[in-house]
Structures are given as C-alpha cells and as structure tokens.
Structure 1
Amino acid sequence: MLGGVVRAHLAEIFPDPALSRSWVPLFCGLHDIGKYAPDFQALVYELAVKLFGELAIEDLDMVRKPAEMGRRVNAPHGILTALHVRDMLESWGAAKGTALRVSEAMGGHHGHFPAGEAIRQARSERNAHGGERWAAWRTALVLDVVRLRGVPEPGLVEWRDLRLSLPAAIGLAALTTVSDWVASDTSNFPALEPGVDLDAYAETCDAKADEAIARLGVSPWSPPVQANFETLFRRAPRPVQQVVELVTSDLTEPVLLVVEAPTGEGKSKAALQAATSMVRQLGMAGFYDAMPTQATSNQMLLEIQSMLHELGDETAVNLVHAGAKPTDVGRDEGDDDVAAQSWFTRKRSLLAPVGCGTIDQALKAAIRSGHVFVRLAALSNKVVVCDEVHAYDVYMSTLLERLLMWLGALGTPVILLSATLPAGRRQALIAAWQAGRRGCPPQQIPAVPSTVSYPRVTVATATRATEHPAEVSDLNKDRRIHLSRIDDEEIVGWLLAEASQDRCVAVIHNLVRRALETYDSLKKRIDELPEVERPLLIAINGTLAAGQRRDVEQQLRECFGEGGVRPRRAIVVGTQVLEQSLDLDFDTMLTDLAPIDSLIQRAGRIHRHRRDQSRGQVRLVIAGVIDRQEGPRFPPYLRNVYAPIVLMRTWALLRGRPHIDSPFEVSHLVDQVYGGEVECPRGWADAWRKEDEHLRALRSRDNAAARTLYLAMPHEVEDLAELTERPKSTKQTRKQSGKRR
C-alpha cells in the first residue's frame, strides 16, 4: 500500500529496521485503545460491570447516560487513543514532539487528526478517560498485546531514538485507518466470545490478516520484465513514444515526466509504457491514470485492459465511478461516517494497484478533508499519470500544483501529458513537484526557459529538468490546418453540403443550447431528404442520461474510432466532449471559436487515424463569432465557459490566417495567447482592456477559492491536524459554473 519516501521513512522510525517492522504494525493495532475508558465502556453498562467488576462500577456510573440520551459519548475514542498513546510513549522515554505525532496519527483513524485543543479538553474530562487507574489498565493491555505479538518489550527499546517524519506519519495514519477498516469487517475477523484463549487466537491472526488482504485486492501489480513499447502493444513505437521509452529506461529515482506532442502521436500509450517501466524500476505497486472526464476514463479503461490482455495479465483495472453505492465495512462508535465508508468500498478507490478515473479522484488528495492522508498514502505507491493537463482551468490547475507538491514530497513519480501546454504552465507544474521533493516553496525553484522546440519530452528530477526533442509521425508531419469562417445562419446548409459529398463531419459547439439547436435544425432538414441521401445524425452532450451517453459513445467508437466501420456520410453534433473525451476521426469539422489550444485539440480529430490525398485538406471551419470594428461578439452565456479576452486574443491571431502549420506553429501560438503577447487590433482597445482586467480578477478569485480548500505546503506542516482541520467537501475539485459537456 505504501511506497516511495513514505515506505522508506516509516521503515526508519527506529535506527534498527527490525524494531520499525515490529512496532509499526503494533501501533496500527492499538488504534482503539481509547475505547478502554469509562466513557466508551458505559455505552453497554451491564456488560461493562460484568467484565470490569466492582473496581469500575463507580467510574462507569459517573458517565452512564440515561436511555433517552442515546449512545453519545463525551470524548470520541480516537481522541482518548491519542491522549493515552502520547502519555505512554513519553513515559517510556520518547521525545514530546515524536510522541505527539505518533498519537495524532493513531488517533486520526476516523478521518480527522485530533487537534491539540481537543486533546487538552479530553484530558480535563477525568470521568471520561478514567484517570490513572484506567490509564494503568490500558498500558497493561498494551503490554499484553506486545507479548502476544512477540514484539520487543518497551523496556528494551531506546524510545529517544524514535522519529516520525511527515511522510512517515502519513503512512502510519493511513495504515492505521485501513487496518481499522479491514479488522472491523466481521467477515475477516468474527467477534470473539468471552473467555477465548488469546494465545491460541494470536497464532491464527497472521493467516486471517493475509486472507483479508488478499480479498481486498491491493497486492502490488507485477509488470512484465520486458516493459518496452513493442512488448506492451505489439507494434513499433512512434517517434514520441520512442523518446519516452528511452528517457525512462534506466531510472533510479522518482521523476516528473512531461510529454508535449500533437494529438494522435500516442501520448496515452507512451504514458502507459513509461508507467509500467517505472513500476518495475522504482518498486511501485502500480499506477493511476487520471483523465479529464468520465468519458476519457471509460476509454482509458479499455486501453489498459487491452494492454493487460495482450500480456496475458488478469489484473483487474479499477475504474472509479462517482455513483458507486457504499456498504458497511463494520461499524463502531464514530464509524457511521457514510462518506468514509463509501470511499473505502467504492472499488477500493485509489488503493487498487492499477486504476484509472477522473483527475478529480487524485485532486481530492490535495483538499483538506477526512481521510485525505489515506488518499496521499495510496498515491505514494503509484505512478500518477495526468492526461490532457492543458484542459484544466485556473481553479483546477491551482489544486493540481498543490497535489504535485505533495506527490513530490512523498516521492511519487508523475507523468503529465498535453498537446498544447503554455510555457508558463509547464514551468509552474515542474516547479511544484520539484518544490515538494526539495522541501521548499515553488517560488524558490528557478525558471529555466525551454531550449527545445515542440514536440518535446521533459524529465525533471529533484534538482534539474532535462528537455529532449521529439519528431512527429507521418500522421502529423507538415500537417496544415486550413481555416475558414462562416456565419451561424450558414451552419446547417454547410453541414448538409459536406455530408452530401460522402463525408463524415463533426460539429463542436461551446454551449449545449447551441448544440441542441443545430441538431434539431439538421433533423428537420434531413427528414425531408430522400432516404438514400440522409446522413447518419448523432448527438452527444452533457444532457444525455448516463446509459444513453454510454450507448452513444460506443456507437461513435464503432463508426469513427480506429478500425471502425465508417458510415458513407454522417454528421456528429456535440460539445467539448468531442474535443477531449473520445479517440475519433472525422473528414472535416465545424467548430465554435474557442481558445487557441482547444481549437488545435479539436482539429486533432480531423484525419486523426489516416492521412491520404483522397480525404482532401484538413479543414477547420469556425463559427460562433461576429466580427465587428469595436471587437468580436460571442454567443450569450459563453463567458461562463471561456474567458472573453482569451477568445479575443485567439481571434485576433486567427481571423486573418488561412492556415496553421502543425506542429511547428502550435507552441508559439499557444504561448502568444496565454502569455498575453497578442497585439490588440485597432478599435478593440476598450473591450480588450475591460476583458483583460476581468480575467485578472477572475484568476485571482479562482486562486483564492482553491487556496481555501487545499492542504498547506508539505514543508510548512508541523501539526498533522492542519491536514484535516476545517475540512472541505472533496466534491469541490472543479469550479462551479453553468458549463455542461
């Protein structure tokens, strides 16, 4: 479950690794020692009196609740665990700071680390914890467990040598929590009857634990010994894939890999090969492939399953679904936290060794929230792949940077993929991961200008970033995207004319309303045509029900995916889902004006799988903009999707251009738009200035909103409670807006 820096640091909490191997599991097993207190035992008063006898009756009576008050306790047992463990370790000779951190890690097993004020309050509630008498009983129980487990006795341990770094504390807290979940499942460990022979029972525990972990499905993945591209995919690698394979072939430490290349160059497969190689070289448990949408996650699931099938590997691939239903993992006081239980039972979420899902599942590990340390620990033992990082807005990008800092601090290898990544974003992402590795703020990482042209592959270690040039395949070599523009009134006629020439045309509108209007108008016109002339008409957008959406996606793959059976003529009307979610190939495309990187991404769906003279030019026709002397006008409500100034800069660059030469002009055009290097056309100054100021204010608000959510920088964390205090909803991984895809 643990890997990288986390596992290494946890193995070094004592100078003697054997002591670490003995005491870490014991710490995990003592997480419920706080239940050995009057406040908790009095919940079942009659049983407690029977078990503890006359010595405890007075204490139990002091905290016994009348039936009408229910089962509420004054001091949650996690806090009482922290209180006792801290005092016990200090009495054995551990340093105060170390004892505090160990106690916080163990006491946080219900999701939230106990804050100092909560522990101080619990200490003052003598009736709840029982004072010195019950503390002595708890310690005696600990010593019994030490004996039963064959762990070196506390008196033989140099406790002043105990150290618990932040990564080690996260690992201990995560192991403690998952141990609690697994052990609380009565199908793994049935409840014991009174009078059981504990010595005999202890001898069976290891086997039961092994069986429980096997059922959990979190055993590390074993990649093939030969993890080269041809072995994994049964085909020769493309140029970018060759570079990725070469630069990751002999890694000895975690790296951040940034792959920038045009759509269609096989970045996703390159990442799978690199991730597989890293798993074997760096001893990771597996990988998690984070995609921008659920549709891309579904498609990546098929890619990973296909790769494993070719290898004869039956490893299950975990697809994270937001709609998975929670089930019980075993309940006790404080465990009726449905969110925590659903996290664990949702196909084990990030705990599974091989998985894919939306980027949201990874971003949750950067948000102050219950059990965030389990997410971080789960990612610590994986290669994390983030696909299409250019698609993230300021809000998501800010969360991603904080996540990268933590992944860097935990020694997690990361792969970032993008077709159109602005230079400033690339530098910020690299700096965030390196800052985590170095234990400093990103601002202290010096910016190094790129010296290698696009496409490129960048390998960043803790101390340096090395760029490698890459060629493009024949599919994208000297690819000229021919541009033209039409008015909205011409859209339907143009699409029908294209289809009548036996072409398959894609339409991408920025707003669902526009997509529905175009679809309805086309449907009426097509119904009037002779049946033999009617093109296939398909709609895909964010309003489709989940089942219908899956059916449409499957139909699109069968018709326009690689190796699909193409219809004679077709029109597909969609929203941004066609831009980033599906690997499809069309003859030509009509698109609303969008930011330059989105337009280039959309154009990547034209002649994506096959280029030959019979298909004609790569043509991108732009609609959704009215050119005026005082500045362009866009459809209503579009500012809820894209910042107008970014659209204005894009249009200022493209409105006089007959074509874009890819890949050579891509990086420069993207940097011009996002670097603010586009010259304002005459007459646009007022609108330009107004929208530029609006974007600055918007980015400031988005940054501020993200900062209220995310974890502190790793090097700034002193108290574990900082990671879970004032918890936020993990549903806030995306900026809330009216955009539907």
Structure 2
Amino acid sequence: MRETVFGWPGKSPAEPGGLCHPAACHMLDVAAVAEALLARGTDPLPRRALSALLIALHDLGKIGARFRGMIELRADQGPRRHWEVTEAWLRSEVIEDLLCDRLGGSCHALRPLVGAIAGHHGRPPTAGPGDWDRMIAAAGPEAARDARAFVEICLDLWPEASLAGLESSTAARISWGLSGLAVVADWVGSNTAWFPASPAPASAETYLAQARGRVPRALAAAGLVAPEAAGGPLFDFVLRPMQAAAARIPLREGPMLAFIEDETGAGKTEAALILAQRMLTAGKARGLFFALPTMATADAMFARARQVVRRLFTAPPSLTLAHGRAGLSAEFRDVRAQGTASDDAICGDWIGDNRRRALLADVGIGTVDQALLAVLPTKFATLRGWGLSSKLLIVDEVHELNEPYLAQELAQLLRLHAMQGGSAIMLTATLPLAQRAALTRAFEEGAGRAFVEDAGADYPSLSVPGAGAERQLPQETSSKGPVAVQRLETAQQAADLIAEASGQGAACLWVRNAVDDAIGAVAALRAAGVRADLLHARYALCDRKRIEAAMLRSFGKDGQGRQGPDGRGRVLVATQVVEASLDLDFDVMVSDLAPVAALIQRAGRLWRHMDRRPVGTRPVPAPVLHVLSPDPGLVADDRWLQGTQERGAWVYPLADQWRTADELFRRGQIVAPSGLRALIEAVHGPDPVAVPPSLQRAEEDQHGQGYAAAGLGRQNVIKIDLGYREGGGGSDDREYPTRLGRPTRTLLLVRRGGVDSCQLRPWAEVDSCQLSPAEAQMLSEVSASAARLARLPLPDQTAPEIAAFTQGWPGWRRATLTVCPVDADGSICEGLRYDAELGLLV
C-alpha cells in the first residue's frame, strides 16, 4: 500500500513531458524546511515534532482524483481546492481517530491545528461536514487508502510527536503561529531551484533525509538564516542620558515590553538600538522590525538604520524596506543592487521581491500598517505574525497610534506578539498614561501574565512595566531652555512676524493644519516679497521627494541654505508632514493651533540642533512658539476656531484644541522635557478641564465618533482565542483598512509628448533613474479628498489616449487610479490644476 503513496502528482512538470514531483515528496520537502525553522525556537521536542508532522500533511488534499486530473489532464479541479480537501481528509473519522490515538490527545485539540496547516494558502478553510463528505467521495477510494497510508508514514517519521496535555484553548492560540510557519515552509519548499522534481523514492525515510540535506542551502538562499547577535559597541559618541539608561536597565524574563518616553531630538532611536542589542544578545529575538507611522518616516529610518544594523550581528543581516512604495527608495535600491555578496546589510531577491516576505528579513523597516495587517482578517496575516514573532518589534512615534481604531489594532498586535513569545519597544514623546496602560495590559495578557498597574508619571522615562517593573529616569534639561508660547490672533499677524524675522536672517517655519491654508499662506508671503517654499502631502510623489530633499539641504542638521543670497532667512510653509518625517531645524516657528501632542512635535523642530547652532549663532535671542489661535477665554459658539483658521479648523477635535490653547497660554511656555507629561495629561488625561458650554456638543460628538471607531476596531481585528480557522480570514488587504479616515482618490498625473504628441507618459521625469515604468507611474501619483474630487469633471477614462495608456492594466488598477493628463498651463479639468511647486490645486 505504501508503494502507491508516491504515485500521486504534486507539482506540474517544469517543462512539457518533464518529471512530475510527487505530492508526498513535496510534503516532505516542506516538513523538512519547517523542522529547521522550528529548531530555532524553545518549544520542547514533542511540540516541535507535532508541528513538523502536521505540516508534512499540509497538502494531503493533493492525494485525490480531481487534483490528479488537473495536473495530468488539465481538467477542472472542481469547486473545492486541494487545501480544503486536506482538512476533509484530516477531519475524516478514520484519519482523525488514527492521529488522536497515535498522538495521545484529544481531537478537540487537534482540530484547530488541522485548520491552521490546511489554510497554508493564506486563508482558513471554511467547508463543513457535508462538504467534506463530498470532497472525500470525489477523491476516490484509492486516494482514501493512500491518504491514510501517508499519515501512517508521517507518524512513523516523527515518533516523538505528541498531543498529550494540549488543551483545545491552547491549540487555538498555537494555530496562529503554526499557520504562518506552514506558509513560509511551503513557499520555500515549493521552490524548484532548491527542491527539484524527483522520481518516486525507495522509501519515505530516504527521501526525507535528502530533503533535510537540501534545507540549509534553501534557507540561506532565501535569506532566512539569521546571523548571531554581536555585543560590540554600536556608537562612538558619548551616550546621552536616555541612551545610557538603555544600556543599564535590567531586562525582564520572558516576553518584554519597554517604553522609551522623551522629547523629540533626545536620541530615542539610538536608545532603542542599544536596548535592542542587549535583548538580541539575551536571546529575546533574532531580528528587528521598525514600525513607523508613514512611508516617509520609514524611508528616513531606513537610511539611518542601514548605517548601524550591521554592528548588531556577527555577519551581514538581511535588511528590507516594507511598504507599498519601497522600490522608489534610492537607499533600498542600493541595498538590493549589492545582492548577497556584501559585508554590509543585504537583501536577496526572495525576500526583497515580496512585501509580505519583508517581515521575514533579519531587520525590517516599514510602516506600522505592514505589522497591523497581522491582526486583521486578511490573506496571509499569519505569515506576517509569524515573521514578527521572532523579531523585536520597535514602534516609533507610538503616540500617533492613539486614535481609537488604531489603538485597538496596536493593542491586539501586542497581545498576539507577546503570545507568540515576542518582545517590543515603544518610542514616544507624547503618549498619554492611559494609552500606555492599555498597551501594557494587552501585552501582559498575551504573555499570560497578570496586569500590574504602573502609576509612574515621571518624564522622561525608560520603563519595563509588569511585576517588578523597572524604571530609569534620565534627567537632562533641554539645551535650548524653555520655549516661550505666544498667541497670534490673525494670519496677517503671522505673515508679518515671519517677514520681519526673515529680514533678520532667521530660518522660519509656518505649520498649517490644512493644505489649502498652506497654499494660501505661501501666496500671501510671496505677495509681500518673502521668498517662501511649500511642502505638504498633495504633491505627486516625485515632486514631494524633490522638495523634501531641498528642504533637508536648507534646514536639516547640516543644512547650508538657511539664508538666501540676499541674507534673508529662508521660509518654509508646511503641513503636518514636518512633525515627524523630516529632521529640520528652524529659528522661528509659527503654528496653527493643534492638539498639544502635535504642537510638542512641531516645537521639536524649533532650535533643534543646538550643538550645531548654539544660542549665540541664532538670529533671534530665544526660541518662541507662536500659535495662531483665538482667545480660549472668549468662546461665543462652536465656530470659535473658524475665525483664525479656514479649512484647518476641521482637522482636529475642537475640544482637544480648546484645552490645548487654555493650558498652553496660561503656562506661557513649554519646558522640555520635565514639563511635557503635565501638558499631555491636561489635554488627554482622565480628568481634563471642562470645555465651555458652547463646545460641549462638539465634545460629545467627538466621544461618539471615538466609541464607534474603537468598536469597529474591536470588530475588525482577528479573534485570537478562537484560533486561526474560526477567528481569522482571507480578505483582501483593501477590505480591512489599517486606518480610518475620510476617503481619498488617487490621481495618476501624465504629460502629453514623446514620439507621438498625443502619447501619454508619466508626470515623473525619471530618465536618469533606474526605475521601471510601473515605478515611474507610482512617482506620478497624488491623492486628494474623494468628496471634493467627486464634484469635478475629471477626465473621461474611456478617452482614446487614456485607454491606450491603461491598456493591459488589471481591473483593480483601473478601479483605484484615475489617469489625469496635465496641460502645459497645469490644467487638468475645470476646477483642478497641478503645479510642480504648489501641488494639486482644487
């Protein structure tokens, strides 16, 4: 009977008439890969053997007449796929009883694990008993005989495998990691360059030995062989207080969560890397994943981390950038171009060509969205979770994830990460204490520990919460001293102040809350004779990158263009994009009123690099944050803010803005870092000052929206305790957003020209760059409010020139992009223009 097991085909021949790889051989290939990956963990041998055994059965559904007909005769496989037939076989009474009897455990513990390995194509199986019966009948009696025989073979190959003592609730939690491991092992084991087609072997034992021999080369080629952690010094400068604290704080046993809370520019990233190195050498992780709030911050972090991550390991680690536009990063393309023959960080094709696999690299840097997708019921979510489980998860700017929907996702991510044995570091300048407690609670629940309230409110602080919590309090007064806060009543006052300061040679920044308000401010300044640049999010990506690079050259840490040829200070008007993504330094700052956390972040760009530009070299005597705001003591109605801001009045919750104005203007200064905790809690703490009666309705609406968003977050995240089969899903990423917000529409800007004057080409001029046509198109995209664009007569997408440009596009791309030819004068349609220096003008 066992001789016929290897007669069932598993993979089509690479060439017509070529050798067909047996399904049983493929399953053993994948099991051998899983064994090697499991060997890195701390599970006992019976549990590791159980996982390898079950993964060896992941494609048992290929043993069947329908799958054979598809491979050999190109016949229709039918309504159910082979991976669903796998579950049918393993849930059949004969095979389930065999497994439970030989493994010494309960079928209730086995079933979640069966659903996990059957769902190795990215989604859990959903068929029921009636479907299973029909699938088994369609497979045929020969398949029934050989499916059972292969199960017996695998039980003999892994005799140590055991279900003993495994509760169904524990199995449900284990199923998430097992599913992710099955996906990775299947992807590696399916690569014909590493596991070529084989004739039927003499025995399963012989073939498994051959497969095990191929695994080291396969894992090395895939970039899945993590180098050992190195313990040498990471930096050659004198450590700042927070960095020194990271070098000495005791580490906790088991999964560990740490919070690094300090003002902007205090060196939190370097502190995180110092702590991460200690955690790596202590065996708490084998790699890192930096989760950033935006693609721009991820790109900036990639450029910084690339210089130091090599020192974390004894050999070159794999390093990747994980977000939808990673291919547009010059730094990432440079790493990819080096291949694997480099003494620096490397990125091979297998990991670099797939954004989901990016989370498998030794060091991943990307948007937090890539990590949050691990806790949404999306396709291959378990792959992301498994990839992260061996990483130290470092979430930067964690305060930006305090919005109710995002907060639910992040809490669930920390719960899952701790449950799978992972550790994490949270970096923040302005995290409210209540949110810190919520994240700690979620992590401790995932680790199976009781939550212990940590009431410490010191700031700055490096803390490891939990039983026997450790806390380091690095105290250092900011070298720039207190930042005075002064209120401006009108936009004209702001423009006059900037004009005067610029005339004195000061580099000036005006942060506006809305793009249209920023464009209007630049127009007003230029009309007054002030040379002002503009930066916001409504540019084609190529123009935004160009402007960001120019701003860094002018206002960055080593900026040399802070003054123009006439000696006047240069001026930048920007939106929130400067809060976190760019390391800029200004002498004078004006900001629209915003919640206190945003204002603290913005003030971090004021007199930032005091080591490069000390007090005596600044054109103004002291740092002052000028805030464009109405008087918080004069609130006539809920239109209180609209007199000083136009569109920006609707960006942030009104109650938060009033409380910020009330607190800041009474204090008259921001004292960093020691005074930041009190400011944050005054606005976002549990007992804030009551808003004026005319603003109470707005606050109630804000609370209602927050409860609704949090409820949607709880509804959308995976249900960890139910296990992967019942609590996961296989939806497209777009069906479950990682963030809530007003809908946007993406425009693809194009020019007319080329060989045919009617031919369209991407707006981005990339002739000198080694970019593909698809990347050039990505550089030409710009997004704006879908509601505003819906009122405009956008170009007809069936027009001949646009139809020719989009020929060959898949349906989803046509549905998500609107191609917009831009005339020589910038016109797109009535009411819509594009200017390379001003952006999209609606």
With normalisation by structure 1, the TM-score equals 0.82
The reply to whether residue 601 of structure 1 matches residue 628 of structure 2 is no
CA distance in 2, matches of 1:690, 1:159: 57
Structural mapping, 1:574-585, within 5 Å: 574-585=574-585
Percent identity over paired residues? 24
Equivalent residue for 2:509?
506
Equivalent residue for 1:399?
409
Instruction: Say if 1:78 and 1:107, in contact at 8 Å, map to a contact too.
Output: yes
Structural mapping, 1:147-158, within 5 Å: 151-152=157-158
Counterpart of 2:469 (choices 453, 465, 474) is 465
Structure 1 140/10 Cα, relative in aligned 2: closer, same or farther at 3 Å? Answer: farther
Counterpart of 2:625 (choices 616, 620, 644) is 620
CA distance in 2, matches of 1:719, 1:223: 32
> 1:424 Cα deviation (Å)?
1.2
The reply to whether residue 410 of structure 1 matches residue 414 of structure 2 is no
Equivalent residue for 1:243?
245
Instruction: Say if 1:105 and 1:172, in contact at 8 Å, map to a contact too.
Output: yes
Structural mapping, 1:2-17, within 5 Å: 11-12=43-44, 17=45
> 1:641 Cα deviation (Å)?
2.5
TM-superposition CA deviations, 1:84-124 (whole Å, max 9, x none): 23442421404211331231121010112224x53542224
Equivalent residue for 2:19?
none
Instruction: Say if 1:592 and 1:625, in contact at 8 Å, map to a contact too.
Output: no
Equivalent residue for 2:693?
685
Equivalent residue for 2:13?
none
The reply to whether residue 319 of structure 1 matches residue 321 of structure 2 is yes
> 1:728 Cα deviation (Å)?
6.7
Structure 1 347/214 Cα, relative in aligned 2: closer, same or farther at 3 Å? Answer: farther
The reply to whether residue 573 of structure 1 matches residue 573 of structure 2 is yes
Structure 1, 516-525 or 163-172: larger mean CA deviation:
163-172
CA distance in 2, matches of 1:263, 1:160: 52
Structural mapping, 1:392-541, within 5 Å: 392=401, 393-438=403-448, 445=451, 447-450=453-456, 452-461=457-466, 463-472=467-476, 474-475=478-479, 478-526=481-529, 535=531, 537-541=532-536
The amino acid that maps onto 1:101 is P
Instruction: Say if 2:376 and 2:736, in contact at 8 Å, map to a contact too.
Output: no
CA distance in 2, matches of 1:243, 1:157: 45
CA distance in 1, matches of 2:129, 2:286: 36
Instruction: Say if 2:113 and 2:171, in contact at 8 Å, map to a contact too.
Output: no
> 1:173 Cα deviation (Å)?
1.6
Query: How many aligned residue pairs are there?
Result: 666
> 1:237 Cα deviation (Å)?
1.1
Counterpart of 2:89 (choices 84, 88, 91) is 84
Instruction: Say if 1:367 and 1:730, in contact at 8 Å, map to a contact too.
Output: no
CA distance in 2, matches of 1:175, 1:405: 19
> 1:213 Cα deviation (Å)?
1.4
Please, what is the CA RMSD of the aligned residues? 3.3
Instruction: Say if 1:37 and 1:134, in contact at 8 Å, map to a contact too.
Output: yes
Structural mapping, 1:97-246, within 5 Å: 97-115=108-126, 117-131=127-141, 133-143=142-152, 151-152=157-158, 165-192=171-198, 203-226=209-232, 231-246=233-248
TM-superposition CA deviations, 1:134-170 (whole Å, max 9, x none): 22112224455677xxx246xx876656777345333
Which structure is higher in RCO with an 8 Å CA cutoff and minimum separation 6?
1
Counterpart of 2:52 (choices 2, 22, 25) is 25
TM-superposition CA deviations, 1:56-109 (whole Å, max 9, x none): xxxxxxxxx6xxxxx352322112112223442421404211331231121010
CA distance in 2, matches of 1:10, 1:35: 32
Counterpart of 1:351 (choices 348, 357, 360) is 360
CA distance in 1, matches of 2:409, 2:269: 22
CA distance in 1, matches of 2:693, 2:34: 55
Q: Report SS of the residue matched to 1:300.
A: helix
CA distance in 1, matches of 2:163, 2:240: 56
Structure 1 519/219 Cα, relative in aligned 2: closer, same or farther at 3 Å? Answer: farther
Structure 1 220/639 Cα, relative in aligned 2: closer, same or farther at 3 Å? Answer: farther
> 1:493 Cα deviation (Å)?
2.8
Counterpart of 2:711 (choices 700, 704, 712) is 704
Equivalent residue for 2:814?
none
The amino acid that maps onto 1:544 is Y
The amino acid that maps onto 2:483 is R
> 1:717 Cα deviation (Å)?
2.4
Instruction: Say if 1:481 and 1:662, in contact at 8 Å, map to a contact too.
Output: no
> 1:438 Cα deviation (Å)?
2.2
Instruction: Say if 1:265 and 1:473, in contact at 8 Å, map to a contact too.
Output: no
Counterpart of 1:557 (choices 529, 535, 552) is 552
> 1:666 Cα deviation (Å)?
1.5
Q: Report SS of the residue matched to 2:641.
A: coil
CA distance in 2, matches of 1:454, 1:374: 37
* Structure 2 unaligned blocks of 5 or more: 1-32, 328-349, 564-568, 745-782, 785-842
Instruction: Say if 1:2 and 1:171, in contact at 8 Å, map to a contact too.
Output: no
CA distance in 1, matches of 2:483, 2:161: 71
Structure 1, 343-352 or 197-206: larger mean CA deviation:
197-206
TM-superposition CA deviations, 1:502-555 (whole Å, max 9, x none): 1111121111111111223334444xxxxxxx75x4322111222222222222
Equivalent residue for 1:52?
none
CA distance in 1, matches of 2:370, 2:602: 26
The amino acid that maps onto 2:192 is T
The amino acid that maps onto 2:596 is I
The amino acid that maps onto 1:589 is M
> 1:622 Cα deviation (Å)?
1.2
Equivalent residue for 2:280?
279
CA distance in 2, matches of 1:361, 1:198: 39
CA distance in 2, matches of 1:737, 1:598: 20
Q: Report SS of the residue matched to 1:282.
A: coil
Instruction: Say if 2:517 and 2:646, in contact at 8 Å, map to a contact too.
Output: no
Structure 1 21/717 Cα, relative in aligned 2: closer, same or farther at 3 Å? Answer: closer
- 1 or 2, which has the higher helix percentage? 1
Structure 1, 90-99 or 595-604: larger mean CA deviation:
90-99
Instruction: Say if 1:405 and 1:437, in contact at 8 Å, map to a contact too.
Output: yes
Structure 1, 291-300 or 658-667: larger mean CA deviation:
658-667
Structure 1 274/119 Cα, relative in aligned 2: closer, same or farther at 3 Å? Answer: farther
TM-superposition CA deviations, 1:564-610 (whole Å, max 9, x none): 32432211111111111112211111111000111111101111111
> 1:39 Cα deviation (Å)?
2.4
Instruction: Say if 1:561 and 1:585, in contact at 8 Å, map to a contact too.
Output: yes
The amino acid that maps onto 1:736 is G
CA distance in 1, matches of 2:199, 2:41: 39
> 1:708 Cα deviation (Å)?
2.2
Instruction: Say if 2:285 and 2:391, in contact at 8 Å, map to a contact too.
Output: yes
Structure 1 559/469 Cα, relative in aligned 2: closer, same or farther at 3 Å? Answer: same
> 1:562 Cα deviation (Å)?
2.2
With normalisation by structure 2, the TM-score equals 0.73
TM-superposition CA deviations, 1:464-493 (whole Å, max 9, x none): 5333322125536x4333323241123333
Structure 1 694/157 Cα, relative in aligned 2: closer, same or farther at 3 Å? Answer: closer
Structure 1 96/384 Cα, relative in aligned 2: closer, same or farther at 3 Å? Answer: same
> 1:127 Cα deviation (Å)?
3.0
Equivalent residue for 2:641?
633
CA distance in 2, matches of 1:256, 1:157: 33
